[in-house]
Chain A
Amino acid sequence: MRILISNSSPDPIYQQIVRQIKGQIIAGDLPEGSPLPSIRKLAHELQISVITTKRAYEELDKEGLIDTVGGKGTFVASQNQEFLREKRMKLVEGKLSEALEDARLLGMSRREVGEMVDLLWEEEG
């Protein structure tokens, strides 16, 4: 797990943690069942207050992204597959629109882009 805290970000620290852990769950970097550090351990590792990490975990728990099992620890929850697929499709959509923007700047036609997509699909498949 990778978490970077910025002191100069306008976002509160707990939100920075929530966003980064969520991102890693959606991206699949933190697969279902992966253990997360305890609230106190994470606070120590990031040198932040215990209440801050507690709040971040509560938020992730509320969204159903993590589960805390009494006495055992905190784990990435088994995900609603539909939800995950939707989130990941959003990511693909974002990357595609970026690519399309570049294509337009280059003056590529829709057909040219289509041909490129077909070509790539064949190659990677």
Chain B
Amino acid sequence: MDTPAIRITNLRKRYPGFELQDVSFTLPRGYVMGLVGPNGAGKTTIVKLIMNLIRPDGGEIHVFGLDHRAHEAEVKSRIGWVYDVPPFYGDVSLRDTKRAIALFYPKWNESLFNQLAAQFQLPLRKKVKSLSNGMRTKLALALALSHDADLLVLDEPTTGLDPVFRRELLHGLSDLLQDERKSILFSTHITTDLERIADFVTFIRDGRVTLSTSREELMEKWGVVRGGEELVEAMDPGIRRGIRHHPHGVDVLTSDVIAARKAFGKKAVVDPASFEDIVVLMEGRGRHA
């Protein structure tokens, strides 16, 4: 098998009041993975650890099969990134920001950058501080896409962007994947952005991975059963993964939608689970463990 683009094992990081606990997942080369969870779940911490901006308290990260710290320079030259808060100096023009960043990348492609800058309508002569948040994200994207990176690590890249540009971005990303050596890790709390194009998805909650699987498997196995309160008792706890009570009944998240449909199909409504259902309904397992 190909070396995975990213392999993370038992990653740990402790902050006062927050702990990333035993995070493990693998992104095979050639695919898109969504890193999905509510704000504060630990998505940005994971991205910062991958990029070696902060030190882990334990665990391992391999990018392209290489230890991400021992081979930091090589690994980073092959990654295009967009951070949650873009690390650009406000008083520097876009053009000079680009010049500074281009120096780090042996495969920098100036004409591709200019093409993207025109497409995104970036005002290259202006200072970074004059940009809106959406424009700042577009600048980061143009930089990330201009050096033939093998891996894109995008932390909330769609925040502050309107639906039209978000759609264009997703289209651009899936275009990139025409090359089967390229991979994308895409963190977001806007689940609909990823629902269709993600090949894999890793759900994060309270610093832990609650589920990491392929989109196909998720769609095939997981579901939401909507019905009366009696559902909660009737469903095998082994396949019951989250409950939401509301005035007119309950929504129960299940990890075996086929069994659930067989058991409750006549008395309850059984829907496929969306990414959002998983984020909202999944119990933060082991929170008290």
Contacts and interface: CB of A to CB of B under 8 A. Distances in A.
Nearest to B167: A47
B170 interface: yes
A72 B122 CA distance: 40
Contacts of A10: 272
B251 interface: no
B2 interface: no
Contacts of A41: 178
Contacts of B198: 49
A14 B200 CA distance: 15
Contacts of B178: 40-41, 44
Interface stretch (B46-54, B78-86, B137-145, B213-221): B213-221
Nearest to A40: B178
A84 interface: no
B215 A52 contact: yes
B197 A48 contact: yes
Interface string A8-42: 00101110000000000000000000000000110
B199 A51 contact: yes
A49 B197 contact: yes
Contacts, number: 51
- Which of A13, A44, A47, A50 lies at the interface centre, i.e. has the most chain B CB atoms within 10 A of its CB? A50
Nearest to A41: B178
Contacts of B171: 44, 47
A43 B196 CA distance: 10
Contact of B196 (A14, A40, A48, A55): A48
Contacts of B177: 40, 43-44, 50
Contacts of A49: 31-32, 196-199, 215-216
A55 B178 CA distance: 17
Nearest to A10: B272
Contacts of B199: 49-52
B180 A12 contact: no
Interface of B: 30-32, 170-171, 174-175, 177-178, 180, 196-200, 214-216, 219-220, 272
6 contacts: A12-B219, A43-B174, A48-B196, A49-B196, A49-B199, A50-B31
